[in-house]
Structure 1
């Protein structure tokens, strides 16, 4: 099939790689180059880098208001959208013979929206997955061609789940594309019950409130790794927390108070139970294990994280 691909981050690049290998990709739309990394250097998206390496034209419009004519001239059989970052207007959805399909990182209708991977972990979901969906104007409301479920362990981070779903989703996408081409694809409407929305992440959410129970804090630490990464204050300076373990124990300490220190972790009292901080990072520094952090910091029982 002749396909137009729209996507931006690494999650989308894995799908693009497989589509390039199995269909004729006419062009690839991606977000404009933006600052990235510590040096804030203007950087091309993962999708753009892959497309250019494959010799494919890469338009990067700020929006799609003026793209309908260009897309009509290409006359694609299908448009594939994966984590693109822009909503497609109806006039574009109507252009391809087989419409537009999307790879979405949740088990729809749960977690429609911008941050399904992170919100699933933050909420303590036992499973997540990917859906291949026929696109509509509504936000992630279209009928679903296929879904694939993955179990969520008690230690998985958003980064780890992202990588797993990117791989699963790319393979599922190719299966659906092949079925569409053979006339064997069937999309089922989403259920009207169980709808939830995964709002976009904000840096302000990443501050740890030690008055919260340990389970919720632990989930948030995993959900916000690798971005925006949970943080707290220790001795007047910011400290980022990337991994932790939950300690089910009774204590009389105030929230944020250190109640145990060892090379295995720095245990901090929460509103309920405690968390043991195992991977920490000072601003601009490298990620340290608890043992490495303690080699340079004299953390003692009774210290306060705030």
Structure 2
């Protein structure tokens, strides 16, 4: 089977690696244009482009795919490349561009998407983050036949994956990426023999995983401890939960809910600071911070962090010193 692959980050690279290892004929890779990264803001190729170049797979990087849009010239060149590829199917994983109808119609078997949720829950850009943030007990991967809607196409394969109380977006991402790579190989093998069954998504249970905004990283200490703890894990490794204490902005990586009763102090107040953690009052309960990071520093367990930071009872997180 001859295919085109469209994807950009590490999640997509994992699937591309599995497809390549399985021996599929990958005629073309679409990925986002190189972006500035690192301290020097040098242009950096996406993980998908890096893999494609290492294995001699042609790469196209259009800034848009609408033939009548701002990047119409890019779209026209991409259309020519896709027509030349003569693919049976396009596999899409976290590509980052909306596919117009002409792209969806081009391959004989259409476009298959690897989506990191149990559709129709968490359609959209950040399903892994939002599942952890919401306290979901499970996630998974859905292989979907793409249509013009936002993750609304028929489901082809679905497999569930538990979310543990210790999972971060990083740990769950890696498991779902591996699962997605395995499922897309299975889906294409079934497609080759006409064995794929399409199931429409249920009309109930639809939720949207909106893109993560860096502004969400600021901890709201008036929320319950359990909600804040989940957000710490959901925003690990990106963008990282943040809070000020005194004049310093810190990143907060891990915490532990100590009780479910309202703390008798203003939210954000430090109640205790010991090697096993920094206890902070919240809108409902106490959150023990166990892993923190100073600006320009490393992620540290509380015991190591406190050796270089003057955090004492009575200080308040979320308040800037005058």
Query: How many residue pairs are counted as aligned between the two chains?
Result: 306
1:98 to partner: Cα distance = 0.5
Q: Deviations over 1:157-197 (max 9, x none)?
A: 00111001000110011000100011111121100110011
Provide the rounded CA distance (Å) in 2 between the counterparts of 1:249 and 1:262: 21
**5 Å matches for 1:1-306?**
1-21=1-21, 22-64=23-65, 65-66=75-76, 67-248=78-259, 250=261, 251-306=263-318
Distance verdict in 2 for CA 1:38–1:212, change over 3 Å: farther
Distance 2:41 2:234 in 1: 24
Tell me whether 57-66 or 87-96 shows the greater mean CA deviation: 57-66
Identify the range of structure 1 (113-122 vs 276-285) with the bigger mean alpha-carbon deviation: 276-285
* Secondary structure of 2:97 counterpart: coil
3-state SS of paired residue (1:154): coil
List runs of 5+ in structure 2 lacking aligned partners.
66-74
- Residues 202 and 97 of structure 1: CA distance in aligned 2, closer, same or farther (over 3 Å): same
Q: Secondary structure, in 3 states, of the residue corresponding to 1:19?
A: helix
**Secondary structure at the residue paired with 1:120?**
helix
In structure 2, C-alpha distance between the alignment counterparts of 1:39 and 1:213, rounded to whole Å: 40
Q: What displacement does 1:73 show?
A: 2.4
Q: Which moved more, 1:38-47 or 1:279-288?
A: 38-47
In the alignment, which residue of structure 1 is the partner of 2:68? none
Distance 1:216 1:248 in 2: 13
CA contact under 8 A between 2:28 and 2:82: conserved in structure 1? no
TM-score (norm 1): 0.98
Question: Whole-Å Cα distance in 1 between the matches of residues 40 and 160 of structure 2?
Answer: 38
Helix, strand or coil: the match of 2:59? coil
C-alpha deviation, 1:235, in angstroms: 1.2
| Alignment partners' CA distance in 1, 2:39 and 2:280 | 30
Instruction: Quote how far apart the aligned CAs of 1:20 are.
Output: 1.3
Deviation at 1:249, TM superposition (A): 5.2
* Mean CA deviation greater in 289-298 or 106-115: 289-298
TM-score by length of 2: 0.93
Q: For residues 170 and 62 of structure 1, do their structure 2 counterparts lie closer, same or farther at Cα, with a shift above 3 Å needed?
A: same
When the two chains are superposed, the root-mean-square deviation of aligned CA atoms in Å is 1.0
Give the deviation of 1:38 after TM superposition: 3.9
Provide closer, same or farther for how the CA distance between residues 4 and 249 of structure 1 changes in structure 2, counting only shifts above 3 A. closer
Equivalent position SS for 1:225:
coil
Q: Distance in 1 between matches of 2:260 and 2:195?
A: 55
